[in-house]
Amino acid sequence: MSKSHHHHHHHVDPDAGDAKIALAVGVNLLLTLAQIVGGIFAGSLSLIADALHNLSDAVSLIIAFVARKIGRRPADAQMTFGYGRVEAVAALINYTTLIVVALYLVFEGIMRFFQPSEVTGWIIVVIAGVALLIDLITAALTYQMSKTSMNIRAAFLHNLADALGSVAVIVAGTLVILFNWHWVDPVVTLLIAGYILWQAAAEMPAVMRLLMLGAPPDLNAVDVIDAMSEHAGVASVHHVHLWMMGEHENAIEAHVVLAAQGDPALIRTGLQQMLKDRFELGHSTLQIEENGFVCAQSQRRLGHA
């Protein structure tokens, strides 16, 4: 991770990103309307499912957009850590809705096997083709931002799942026209649902970890403690908390017991520099304790007693 990530909102013009997301929302809402109308006329479940999915796309983009705006607010008396974590909350909401949509599709797809309905193929193929185009435009608008933000990535995945949905609908519609294979419609619906569930399951743990104050996934707390313990002038380290303040900002707090000799201020600045250089821990709060004046929790290396 480059150092620039710690200030990732400064070197990219945030308003440019906002405009892209706003544009993506507009196109998706228009598309949803077209698909619902087409789905009703064609009697196609997969098209209406695609429309619902598109609506959830637009909503997911709106949630991501609002969270991005809020996340840029500076810290204040109510939120002393700032508002950045709201993006993780938005990602959690978006993945949860993705899962709900997918489960609904599973239910509808299974029901269709038992109660197949007539599907007019060509209407579906045309509308799904338009849908695919819109999905690709939206994906292009949000792809670059999705690399550095779990919030935008959740919205991007909503969209990617949707693009696949459109491809699948085109295939199903074509097979209905050519071979009258009506069973393809529910099969395709189930395949889309399976893909969405798989993606959401893969992304959810990182979001939960951030919200649960987890240690950064690329850092081993034991390695950090060992490095601190081995630092010159340090006798031992305890009461260590290592967590992600935001997606690109990690923090540590710890109690450090000093060996007999050494200047406490020098040792602390040395430790903080080492934590920054070796582990990219820019936020470190260290409580210095001298032998003989050690807190009651000194037996616990991690967390509170």
Instruction: Return the domain boundaries, the chain.
Output: 3-211, 221-290
Contact 17, 145 (CB under 8 A): yes
* pLDDT score, position 158: 82
Q: Residue 1: name the closest of 220, 274, 280 by CA.
A: 280
Measured CA to CA, the distance from residue 134 to residue 153 in angstroms comes to 18
Task: Kindly report the pTM of this predicted structure.
Answer: 0.80
The pLDDT mean for the chain works out to 84
CATH 1.10.150.120 fits 3-211, yes or no: no
Q: Residue 86: name the closest of 24, 16, 150 by CA.
A: 150
Measured CA to CA, the distance from residue 270 to residue 241 in angstroms comes to 19
Beta-ladder partners of 52? none
Q: Let me know how long the chain is.
A: 305
Contact 35, 56 (CB under 8 A): no
251 phi and psi angles, rounded to 5 deg = -140, 155
Q: Is residue 90 scored above 80 in pLDDT? A: yes
Report the C-alpha dihedral over residues 265, 266, 270, 271, rounded to 10 degrees: -40
Lowest mean pLDDT among 74-88, 109-123, 196-210, 260-274: 109-123
Tell me which CATH code domain 221-290 carries.
3.30.70.1350
87 or 168, greater pLDDT: 87
* pLDDT score, position 122: 79
Rg (CA), the chain: 26
* pLDDT score, position 59: 87
106 or 166, greater pLDDT: 106
* pLDDT score, position 117: 64
Is the Cα dihedral 197, 25, 7, 282 positive or negative? Answer: negative
Q: Is residue 138 scored above 50 in pLDDT? A: yes
Q: Residue 5: name the closest of 284, 285, 282 by CA.
A: 282
Task: For residues 242-251, give the mean pLDDT.
Answer: 90
Q: Residue 81: name the closest of 210, 176, 188, 203 by CA.
A: 210
Residue 172 CA, distance from chain mean position = 31
Task: For residues 138-152, give the mean pLDDT.
Answer: 89
Confidence tier at 60 by pLDDT (50, 70, 90):
confident
Percent of the chain with pLDDT over 90: 39
Task: For residues 38-51, give the mean pLDDT.
Answer: 75
Confidence tier at 291 by pLDDT (50, 70, 90):
confident
116 or 271, greater pLDDT: 271
H or E element that contains 134: helix 121-146
Q: Is residue 304 scored above 70 in pLDDT? A: no
* pLDDT score, position 3: 39
Residue 85 CA, distance from chain mean position = 11
